[in-house]
Amino acid sequence: MQAIYSFLGEPVFEHDFGHVEYDVTEFDERAGTPGLHTVRPTVTAEARDTLLPPDLFNRFTHDAFWRDPERIPAGLTVV
C-alpha cells in the first residue's frame, strides 16, 4: 500500500484488511447491476475461473513479467 500511496503522491493511510465496510447497493440497483460492487468484509485472494477462452488465456500465462524481478524493465515500478 505504501508504494501505491507514493505513486499517487498521497500520505500513507493505515488500512484494516480484516474489517472492510463498503456498501454501494443503492448505486448498483439504480444502475441495473445489483451486486456488481459487492465487497466482502475481509480482503483475501480468491481463486476464480477466467472469462477468457482457454487458448487466449494460455497465450499470456507466462507473460507475467512482474513475478520475475529479472524481467522487470529498468526504471519500471511494479506495485
Q: Is residue 66 part of a domain?
A: yes
Asked if the structure places residue 18 within a domain, the reply is yes
Does residue 32 belong to any structural domain of this protein? yes
Q: What pLDDT, on the 0 to 100 scale, is given for residue 16?
A: 95
CB 9 within 8 A of CB 32: no
Position 64 scores a pLDDT of: 82
> 13-61: per-residue pLDDT in tens?
899 999 999 999 999 999 999 989 988 999 998 888 888 899 998 888 8
Structural domain of 10: 2-71
Q: Distance (Å, rounded) from C-alpha 30 to C-alpha 20?
A: 23
C-alpha cell at 56: 487466449
Q: What is the pTM of this model?
A: 0.56
